[in-house]
Structure 1
């Protein structure tokens, strides 16, 4: 229920959700064709990619990503999960069928505390 969302979650610094599909030797565009979903990002093995902190690296894997980072402005993890799940339901997403192709399908969510982060939590 949307009235239960807390988009300004006071104790949350940042949150993220990612659907990651690693395709082995297959081109990640095959995921787009198989699912009908448009990725928010993809990488090809050997490609130079820009990391979030401005550094570059060579991608070790073929990968397809769907995440709400630039689409959802909320610190409530549930809002991000709902964004991804809505797209998966609309596309009739079948993780088992993708796994049968040998692709590694992962759904990750993370929530960073505003008050207990990094080394401060260990002090």
Structure 2
């Protein structure tokens, strides 16, 4: 049984210091693997996929052709919390049953994957991860990166 009494940072869906956050599993593919094949291997649908050759338009109206295929699963729009741990738990619950598929994909040359955490800060207090989450990420052989943006307080 895990003793939570030693933890300084308790969970809070209104986490102090955070304006917004999200967590994503990003899988970048080689030219031979289609994102739909990743869905079949993982038995999981992405929230977004990039297919080589597709033309996309950004919010500024600029278009570009996709040159690197990708399969992405994001907590954005699915988790309403400012605590990155809630987003990470959601993602890990989704992908943990697909552990064997993730390992299979990691053994294909040219495929790269990571968990990416986006954090928009309004103070100097940053995100917290718990050991249980780090252990699952290690068991899945997934690195975790943070994109942190600081905009200052709303006041």
Q: TM-score, normalised by structure 1?
A: 0.81
- 2:82 maps to 1:75: yes
With a CA cutoff of 8 Å and minimum separation of 6, indicate the structure with the bigger relative contact order: 1
Structure 2 gaps of 5+ residues are 5-9, 125-149
Relative distance call for 1:50 and 1:79 in structure 2 (3 A) is: farther
State the Cα RMSD in Å.
2.1
Contact 1:95 1:105 in 2 (8 A): no
Q: How many residues in Structure 1 have an aligned counterpart in Structure 2?
A: 116
Larger Rg: 2
Residue number in structure 2 paired with 1:14? 20
Cα distance in 2 for residues equivalent to 1:93 and 1:72: 25
Matches within 5 A, 1:110-121: 110-115=118-123, 117=150
Give structure 1 stretches of 5+ with no counterpart. Answer: none
Partners of 1:43 and 1:49 within 8 A in 2: no
Q: TM-score, normalised by structure 2?
A: 0.66
